[in-house]
Each structure stands twice: as structure tokens, then as C-alpha cells.
Chains A and B, each alone.
Chain A
Amino acid sequence: MAVAAENGRLRLAVVGVVVLSLFSALFARLWYLQVLDSRSFVAAATTNQVRLVYEDAPRGRILDRNGNVLVDNRRTQAITVSRHDLERLKNAEEVKARLSALLAISRDELDKRIADVRYSQYKPIPVAEDVSEETYTYVKEHQRDFPAVDATIVSQRTYPNGDLAAHLLGYVGEINDSELVNRKKDGYRLGDSIGKSGAELVFERDLRGSPGVTKLQVNSAGEVVKGEPLAVVAAQPGKDVTLTVDLNVQKLAEDSLKQGLEAARSAVDRNDKKHFLAPAGSTVVLDPRDGAVIAMASYPTYNPGDFINGIKPDVFAALSDPASHFPLNNRALTGLYAPGSTFKLVTAVAAIERGMVAANTTITDTGVYNLKGCKGERCTFRNAGGQSYGRVNLTRAITVSSDVYFYGLGARFWQERGQYGNGIQETARKFGFASKTGIALSGDKAGVIPDPEWKKSFCKNVRCVDDRWFTGDNINMAIGQGDVVVTPLQLANAYATFGNGGTHYAPRIGAAEPPKVLSTVEMTPAMRQPILTGLKQAISKDDGTAYGAFLGYPNSALPVAGKTGTAQVRGKQDTAVFAAFAPADNPQYAVSVVMEEAGFGGASAAPVARRIFAGLAGQPITPIQLGTGVD
């Protein structure tokens, strides 16, 4: 070899240095991975090997105030298919064939069930429910043969009373994207069920419970490793929730409302000579002593059972069709109606507490009120029905529902506004109008009590004849017309407030919610008594507007004080309204009834309330007969 020894040594040294540096590089990299950056790799290794399996907690039941079950759960053994996983299987057809044989259903039927559009791809689809123990166990034990298939306990809502109290109870559905964003921190996941409306939504936190989680160790193929799971957190069933609602009163209220609407449809409107349409309505029963909702009915209604496992598109389309009058809406909270003469309670309280009138102040009701210093048809206001009532004081004005008397009060409130301010509006607000009631249910509307500022801003968006406030506006407001709109719940709560002596509670539906006082209407007995008497006589005196409706009612068993109302709605038949409380001197119930396009309150709405009061009094319930009142 010709290479000099010296050169050879040098080259060997170079080899040695190269080898040494390569080993050093490996050591440096090891140090980086196992010391400097180890923590992130530990985390990655942990997530690698763990799979979380969730089990839905059975949802809590919903009970009425006496412990009767309103919403229950059914636990059933089901075979479910994950569409998401199935679509990713190479042997999906094989698995489906196996499954259809096991469940003894045809392939077409199985495909149809898997394709059910009610389920999102995140929610396992129950293709068979109430399966036998054998089938259930077989699928559990042969997971290798049934990828994407699972045997699970499915918990489903059941409604022992059918569609009773549907709006109050609400329904449950699969969580949507926006709900997921809002609730992510509460541990909700795609495909979870969540209360969508009513009590199901209000008490979601209690009802839901917490899902069970099993931590399983899985290998790289995603197969569960034999042996004990890494951790098991058992599902915590949701808590039962007790409502203030009374199942029997709710039934009574719903039946009465439905019958009342049917009865109204048989009558003919004397204005347009057509049968009343009476398509919809609402009735509310409150406890004036604490604001508890004893019953709340809205017609038309829907069946919450339709929403189990997602609602079928055609059913939902029918529920959303305007021709079906929006059965999903809870009109007790969301329906805005002119209260008509039932609003005279507010005008009366406003006038007497400000000393504008005394109990014995009388006027002569000739059936017509002419606004002084004003000429033309727009300056003349008439009683509904055109009657004249002669000399009327406050009590009688309420009993017979003298519009002329209240026109006068309305006019004076505006003309003497220097002294009385916006008295009607102020009192109306104390009774809870023009603001949300504070009930926990969602969708609660505030309604409108108009005043000069309101009109001005309202007319910026809507074409008005004039955006100024006139005496006529006050006159209309005084009898619950014009722009006044209220919800049936607000109306019941206003009468509850008057009935209990002036304490305005927030209506509540949860038995565990403490009563909450929102405001107080200051009334001395001397101020309150003439109005209360007027309300009592509307029922009991032979010229009272609800006398006919309550004819034969056992008033001594449960004496009622109430007021009829008939509200004109442009382009529609009149809204029938009635609001009352009983027993009159120490009320336990306050009731409002509002019926769309159903005529006089005394004729259509009062009989509904009468039937409810009769039931509450423990008296035999008779079929609804239309009353004779003309307001």
C-alpha cells in the first residue's frame, strides 16, 4: 500500500471523529426527546391509548305539584348503528347483512332505519328497540362481527298524559351547534339530548344529570384491551323536577278552553254575520298568594312525543304551517292581545288612588261620549253594543262595563296630565304590564302600554296618521284598546295582584323556586273596595256582564270576582277576554281566558273560566254554554 503511515493514521482519526460525532448527535437528540420535550410526548401517549365511552344519564322526571308524573323515561335495550362509522367500513354490506339476519328484519327495512333523517351522523341510530336479552348480549359479545353497531340502553322521554301541558313541559331534542357552543363547558357533546323549550329547557341543569364515562385502553387498531377499564365514572341520573302545576287543573283548563272555542265557533258574529273562527286561545290559572302557575293552556297544541328521537319533517312542517295557527307557540306567554274592558281594572285603580274620582262620584251614561271642543265622527265614542246605563258610579261602571265612564277617565287623565301625569301607564306598569313577567319559561313577551314617547318612536318605524298623542289615544287606552297589548299571563297576574291586595309576584313554575315580589300596588281598602264590589257584581248581579255566563254557578262555594273584555282587532273578529279571581275576598286562584276571534268576553270567554272555577270548587263540571254578556 502506497499510502504513508502518517496519512493512514490521520484518515483513521477522521473516521474516529466522524463516528464519535454521530454518537453525540444521537445522544443530543435523545436528551431533547426524553428530557426537554418529554411532557408533550407523555400527553400524546396517553391520548393514544385512551378511548372514552359515554353513557347517557337517564333524564329526571317532571312531576306536578302533587307528585303525579307529567314526563317519564322509558329505558329500553336497543341496537344502534353509527352511520358515521358504518360509512367508513370496508365490509359495511357484510355487517348489514349480519345485522338484518340477527334482528330478523329485511335489508330494505334496515337501510331505511339507518337512513332516518331525524338522526345526525353523530347520534347512534336505534335500528331496533326493546330487543331481547339474547340479541342484546350477542351484539355486545361479538363486537368484532358488528363494527359500527352497538347494544345500548336507550333512555326515552314518555308522556303518560299525551299532549297535556305540552307548552309548559316543552320537548327534548338533539343539541344543535349554537347550543353546543354555549354549553360546551357543561360537558355537552355532539348528539346529546337537550331540553329545547318549556320546563325541559328551564330545568335542563337538574333534569340532565351527568353522563357516565368509561375510560378504556385501546390498541393502535382501536380495539379495546382486555381487562378492567382504566376508569369508570357512573352516570348520575338527572333529578326529578316538581312543577307548581296541578295535573287535574291543567286538564280542566285545557278541556275548558278547547270546549269554549268549539262552542264559540257555533255562534255567529253579529258584525260580519259569519260564524266565529275561534282558532286559538289561552287560559292561565295562577295562585295569587305566591305567583305559582297552577295551569297554563294554549290552543292549538302539539304532542311533545312527536319530538322523541327527532321530529319527522312532515310533522314539523305541519306544526309550522300558518294554517295550523302555530301550535308550538305558547300563547299564554307569547300571544299579544288587546285586553279590552278587562283593562278597566287598571284605569279604575289609577283614577281612584290618585283621587280623580271617589266611590260615590257618578256620571250619566247616555251610551255616547262626546269629546268637548271637538267636532266630527272621530270625537264620538260609544258603548260597546250601544246601550246606555244611566247614572253610574265606579262600581257600577265596572259591573256593567260602562265604556262612557272610562272614556271620561281616560280623557281627564290627558286633559289634567299636569296633576295626574301618565297615571294609567304608571299603574299599568305596577300591575306588571309592558314588561316581561319574569317567568322562567322562554319566549315571554313584554307587551305594550303606550304613552306619548312610545307613540313618537313607534311612528318613526310605522306609518301613522299623526305621531302626536291625542286625548283620543288616552280614551282608547282607558278601555284596553288602541295600542295596548298584553299577554294572557300578564292579565291573570294583574288580577292576581289586585285580588291579593296589591302584591305583584313573578309567575313561577318550579315548586322549588321561592316566590318573588316584583312590585306593589298601594291601595287602601277604601280605594279597593268599590272596584272589588264592581268585579263581584259583574258575576253576581243580573246586569253584570258575566252574569249570564255564571248563571247557575255555585257562587257561594267559590265566589268569583271578574271582568269581561271584548277587544276589537282590525280585520278580524273580536277577541273574547275574561279575567277573574276567587274566592273574591281571599283569592286562591286567578284566571285569565283569551280567545281569538270568538266574540264577546261575556259570551265566549267567561263560560270557560266558569267551568274552571266550578272544577276548582269541586263542583260537577258541565259542558260549556255560551253566555249572554255583551262585553
Chain B
Amino acid sequence: MAISSPANIGRGNAASAWRHVDLSLVVTTLLLAAFGLLMIYSATRSRLDDAGLDPQYYLQRQALFVTIGLGVMLVAALVDYRVFRDFAPIIYAGTVGALVLVLALGSVHKGQQAAFDVGPFQLQPSEFAKVSLIVCLAAYASSIRTEVDGRKLLVILGLAGLPMGLIYLQPDLGTSLVFAAILLGMLLISGVKARFLVALLALAVVGMVAVVHFGVLKDYQYKRLTSFLDPQADTTRSAYNLAQSKTAIGSGGITGKGLFKGTQTNLSYVPEQHTDFIFTAVGEQLGLAGSVALLALFAVIAWRTWRAAALAKDPAGTLVCVGVLAMLTFQIFENVGMTMGIMPITGIPLPLLSYGGSSTLATFAAIGLVLNVHMRRFT
């Protein structure tokens, strides 16, 4: 490594740190991104072509996001994560500010006010807020030298609860659930007493029951959340979506119908197919073989992230990695699970596979953080 390496910004010796970079995580991430590009193309080409548009429209845009994402990942790995601790209050304030701003000035898409229009792109602050929450919670929790008492726990809950509430107002139930997952994972590892955790979980259950009972959820949210429990009973759009989604995956069989040959995919029977329901394109065209391969790649990411958490030099590193692990695992399980009818339908993207700039960049940033922690495990 050259002395003039830009990695000198951090506290540790960046040049030596790069020697310990987790190449398998990098390669797996790149493979997943490429997998995603192929699936997005397969899910959109015939629809675009039928409409007389450029069949590579989504492919090219996603390729751009991935390219930028690689840069983001590099930067996220480059700056020593221990530096973030100093900037955590600023990051947190910026994030909350952006989330407030989007509620006031954001553009409305499909009933959600969740994004800023930036030229031809939409910037979704909630996607980036997930990563910044991980960083900020890690920063705060690792700074606690004593046992996490009730007051400090409330601070942690408050830190997570504020952006979560703002996102729920957009309304984006799915992403606020991701926040809950991140919070849960990080609390578990932050040394909060077991009885507090149990009490929190109990509170969460009571809260959920209350939410369902007292109509906090909007009607369509309730329906979407519960239709997977009894698809026959519901004839609304969400049940139709779920049925078509399961049909796509199930009809793929073991080997799939072949790339570009999925009828459910090509004939737009599955909604949101290049975004939230991208897994159906995998299941239908590539079958069990392709789906298992995809899940295996995700599993490698999870394993490397978990390993980075275990090997981390300090609690902050462990907390960051566990936060990322919780975020990715929840998103994968919820997204893939919803397309197969074992989880409620909520709008959560499948990391690296779903089309979308903000989600792609945020995922790359998160993986960059894991690389960051991992390569500085000795310094």
C-alpha cells in the first residue's frame, strides 16, 4: 500500500488494515449485485418492450446505482468506524432532520411521502436512516461504561423510536419494522439485562395487540399484514398479489422455467416485480436451484457479518456488525417470506436484488461498515 493512500484519515493504520479486508464478503456482495441486475432486467424487459420503451431502462439505472454503491461501500470501509463515534450526534441530527423534511417537502408516490425528487432520481432518507441508526446506536451503546440501566435503556429506545416514528408517519410500516429489528439485535448485544429485554418483548407484544385492536393501522395495512394468514378469506388486491406471487415461485419447480421464460414474470401477473417482489422472478425462472443459490449468497453475507461481529476489536465494532446483520436478515426474511406467504406483505426491498437507488446505496454502505470493522480487527 502506498503511503499516499487516502486511507490515512482514520485513527488506525489504514494501509495495513486493507491487508485484512474480507475478500469473500466483497466477492459475495458483487455476485449478489450482478444477480440483482440480471433479475431486474428479466422482470422488466418484456413489460418495457411492450410499452415501446427501452427494455434496458431499469437495468441501466440499477447498474448506475451499483456503481455508485461500490464507491459508497469503499468510503464506508475507508473511514475508521471509530471516527463515526465523534460524528454520531451530527449524523443523528442530520438523519432526523431529513426525515422531518421529507414529511414536509417529499414527493408522494403510491400514497407514501418518503422521497425527495433529485433530478431523475428519488432519494429515500429512510433507507439511509437505517444505516445511520446502526452507527449512532453503536456509538451511544459503546460509550456506556457502566451497566445499561433503565434510564440509559430509555435513551436507546428514544434514539431508535424518533426516526422510527417519523418513518411510520410517511407511512412506511415495513421500514419502521426494520428499525425495530435493528434495535432488538443491538439491544441484545449491548449488554442490556435479560429481564429488561424480556420486559421489552412483552411490551412489544402488548403493543402489537393494542395496535391491531384499536385501529392504529390503516385498513389496507391491516389487510396486507393479515392476508397471508388466510389467503382464501381475502379477495382484495393484496390476496391476489400474494396468490400470484406464490404461483410464480411454485410454478418454477426445481429447475425453473428458464431465464426470460417466466410467464408470470413476463406477463406482469406479479406486482412490483422488479422491486419488492423480485424474488418471484428468481423463483419462477431459476427454480429451487436458483432460489437456494441466492439464499446461499445471502447466508454467506450473514455469516461473514456475524463473524466480523465476533472478531471485532471493540464493542462498537460488534454492535455495528450485529446492527447490519439484524437489518439484512430481517429484510431478507421478511421480503422472501412475504413472497412465499409466510410473512405479511410490507414494502421492504430485498437487499441488492430489488431495484432502487436508496436501498442499494444503503446496503452497500452497511456492508462497507462490516468490511470496515472486520479489516480493523487488529488495529
Contact = CB atoms under 8 A, between A and B. Distances in A.
Q: Say whether A and B bind each other.
A: yes
Interface of A: 1-3, 7-9, 11-12, 14-16, 18-19, 22-23, 25-27, 29-31, 33-35, 37-38, 40-42, 44-46, 48-49, 217-221, 225-226
A26 B336 contact: yes
12 contacts: A1-B144, A2-B148, A30-B291, A33-B283, A38-B253, A41-B248, A44-B243, A45-B264, A48-B264, A49-B267, A219-B269, A220-B269
B42 to A, nearest CB: 16
B6 to A, nearest CB: 32
A273 B333 CA distance: 101
A26 B296 CA distance: 11
A161 B229 CA distance: 67
A41 B310 contact: no
A25 B288 contact: no
Nearest to B312: A12
B309 A30 contact: no
Given A12-B318, A219-B268, A34 B287 contact: yes
Given A7-B191, A15-B306, A34 B253 contact: yes
Contacts of A42: 250-251, 253
Nearest to A49: B263
B267 A220 contact: yes
Contact of A35 (B191, B253, B318, B337): B253
Interface of B is mostly: helix
Contacts of A3: 190-191
Nearest to A223: B50
Nearest to B144: A1
B315 A1 contact: yes
A37 B246 CA distance: 10
B28 interface: no
B230 interface: no
B249 interface: yes
B333 A22 contact: yes
B300 to A, nearest CB: 11
Nearest to B248: A45
A15 B247 CA distance: 33
A38 B145 contact: no
Contacts of A31: 288
Contact of A12 (B247, B248, B269, B309): B309
Contacts of B200: none
Given A25-B342, A30-B340, A45-B251, 4 more contacts: A2-B191, A19-B325, A22-B333, A45-B263
Please provide the 8 A-B residue pairs with the shortest distance between their CB atoms, ordered closest to farther: A41-B250, A3-B191, A45-B251, A219-B267, A41-B251, A33-B250, A34-B288, A220-B269
A40 B243 CA distance: 12
A563 B363 CA distance: 106
A11 B309 CA distance: 11
Nearest to A37: B250
Given A12-B306, A16-B306, A27-B292, A38 B251 contact: yes
B251 to A, nearest CB: 4
Interface of B: 50, 142, 144-148, 185, 188-191, 243-244, 246-254, 263-264, 267-269, 283-284, 287-288, 291-292, 295, 298-299, 302, 306, 309-310, 315, 318, 322, 325-326, 329, 332-333, 336-337, 340-342
A19 B329 CA distance: 7
B267 A35 contact: no
B253 A48 contact: no
A373 to B, nearest CB: 85
B250 A217 contact: no
B295 to A, nearest CB: 6
B295 A33 contact: no
Contact of A44 (B185, B247, B332): B247
Contacts of A41: 246-251
A46 B325 CA distance: 39
B371 to A, nearest CB: 19
A46 B188 CA distance: 47
B295 A1 contact: no
B185 to A, nearest CB: 6
A114 B16 CA distance: 83
B189 A11 contact: yes
Looking at B191, B254, B309, B318, the one whose CB has the most chain A CB atoms below 10 A away is B191
A34 to B, nearest CB: 4
B188 A218 contact: no
Contacts of B188: 11, 14-15
Contacts of B252: 34, 38
A1 B254 contact: no
Given A23-B302, A26-B336, A217-B267, A15 B189 contact: yes
Nearest to A218: B267
For B50, B190, B252, the residue with the greatest tally of chain A CB atoms inside 10 Å of its CB is B252
Q: Of residues A7, A18, A46, A218, which shows the largest number of chain B Cβ atoms within 10 Å of its Cβ?
A: A18
A30 B332 CA distance: 14
Given A2-B145, A33-B283, A40 B292 contact: no
A388 B261 CA distance: 98
B337 A26 contact: yes
A31 B252 CA distance: 11
B306 A40 contact: no
Contacts of A225: 50, 267
Contacts of B337: 25-26, 29
Contacts of A1: 142, 144-145, 190-191, 315
A3 B142 CA distance: 11
Contact of B247 (A14, A25, A48): A48
A218 B295 CA distance: 32
Given A26-B337, A37-B250, A42-B250, A48 B269 contact: yes
A38 to B, nearest CB: 5
Contacts of A16: 306
A23 B246 contact: no
Contacts of A25: 333, 337, 342
Nearest to A217: B267
A29 B340 contact: yes
Q: Which of A1, A23, A38, A40 has the most CB of B within 10 A?
A: A1
A605 to B, nearest CB: 69
A34 B250 contact: yes
A219 B185 CA distance: 43
B116 to A, nearest CB: 31
Residue with the greatest number of chain A CB neighbours at <10 A, chosen from B144, B267, B288, B306: B267
A24 B336 CA distance: 12
Contacts of B340: 26, 29-30, 33
A2 B146 contact: yes
A222 to B, nearest CB: 10
A19 B185 CA distance: 11
A9 B142 CA distance: 16
A26 B249 CA distance: 13
A27 to B, nearest CB: 6
Contacts of A14: 188
A46 to B, nearest CB: 8
A94 to B, nearest CB: 22
